[in-house]
Amino acid sequence: MDDWLQLSSLGTDSWWQRVCEVGTPVVERDADGETTMHFFWRDPQGHSTHSSTERVYIDINGVTDHHSTSPESLKRIGSSDVWHWSTLIESNWRGSYSLIPVSAEHLPPVFSGGSEACEILQRKWWISLMPLAIPDILNRSRPFMNSRRTALSKAHMPDAPYQSAWALHDAGLSETTSRTLQTLQWQSTLLNTTRTVWLFTTGETAEPERRPLVILLDGQNWVHGQPIFSALEHATAAGELPPASWLFVDVIDSQHREVELPCNETFWQAIQQELLPFAHQHVDFSHEASRTLVVGQSYGGLAALYAGLHWPQRFGRILTQSGSFWWPHLQYICDYANREQHAPGLLLRQLQNNELPAGKLKIFQEVGDREADMLYVNQQMRPALQAAGHSLHFRCYSGGHDALCWRGGLIDGCRWLLADCLNG
């Protein structure tokens, strides 16, 4: 890569064409096995004498520190239109990122006062930059939308687990099969809400009433953010997943999400008493717990496991990703350094104190090695689930609190959890 940066043609159209052909991040592996990823940005205003760009911040999930008062920025090479930044990374890492080009008016303010005041000011400043965030146009994979509707680019290191089911989606070749996708409005009396839910079926079966039912919380993320339909169809056609019915549940908004997903009994009563009968009017699926799978991430990961542990007779298969098992104790997030002194989260306490109904679940649990607090509470939950006799597959991936990682785990988890449904 040093050769690239020292070429006399640096910044010319032919030089940039070479970068485009390779695609960013450019991955470099040295003789010692270390992996470096390089990011580039071409200043649309050209050389420094014609440009108002002062920084090109880079926000990489779990890698760069967005709490910093001087976050990482690409550096302009000389006076050229080439901006560059690189970092060492694990060869099996995967993550999402965005670039934030800013002019002088958006540079950091002067941070003064106590640490708490500086933290508040820094957060306010960083949030103000979010409308300026852009995906990396040099990245050859199309961007996706996160839960905040920000377009993010994808970075996959050479040894990251291959997400084969998502290949068509990443290439921009996936299509939603409208014939099998239904968009419905669920009016809940118990919750006093109206929300969108989506039903999707995959594969063909002679016994539609035995189709496994997969309930996906934060369903809007898998319908709009990273549409999962082609990935499900690919995995089903490859014989990795059985023909199934997929129910995507919208969260309405962040306020409803924060109330409904963390250990909310009424929410799950509404799912069982209202939503599932409503969904069954539109598509066939099994009512057996062993053929019913709940999937969730973060608060959704907490909610999925809560559902299984409290109603094992209805929800027998659980896929929990980066579950927020710290809830309701925010100290794990605000005071992570003293994590060993904090009280266990509600669901962990219930599990440890044998306060839950009898029943054995099959659980796929995963979390990222760059998630800090989430990693810690998931590592707390793991032995408690094993001690309670549940069948557990636990894995820690190289990455952060990131939907780009979760999408692969979602397919892998469903494959493991539904393996016994492949033969009818």
296-313: pLDDT as tens digits: 999 999 999 999 999 999
3-state class percentages of the chain: helix first, strand second, coil last, to nearest 5: 35, 25, 40
Residue 381: strand, helix, or coil: helix
Weakly modelled stretches of the chain, pLDDT under 70: 175-178, 424
Q: Cβ of 123: how many Cβ atoms within 10 Å? A: 12
pLDDT of residue 147: 82
pLDDT of residue 247: 99
pLDDT of residue 178: 63
pLDDT of residue 111: 86
Q: Scanning the structure block, which residue is given the tokens 């996160």?
A: 146
Say yes or no: domain 164-421 is CATH 3.40.50.300. no
Q: Maximum Cα–Cα distance for the chain, whole Å? A: 71
Instruction: Look at strands 181-188 and 193-202 and give their pairing.
Output: antiparallel
Q: How far apart are CA 194 and CA 297, in angstroms?
A: 22
Q: How far apart are CA 418 and CA 21, in angstroms?
A: 40
**Helix axes of 403-417 and 229-237: crossing angle, nearest 10 degrees:** 30
DSSP assignment of 266-287: HHHHHIIIIIHHHHHTTS----
Q: Where do the structural domains in the chain lie, given as residue ranges?
A: 2-156, 164-421
Domain 2-156: which CATH number of 3.10.50.40, 3.60.20.10, 2.60.40.10, 3.50.50.60:
2.60.40.10
* CA distances (Å), origin 115, targets 111, 122, 235: 9, 10, 50
pLDDT of residue 199: 98
Beta bridge partners, 60, equal: 97
pLDDT of residue 176: 56
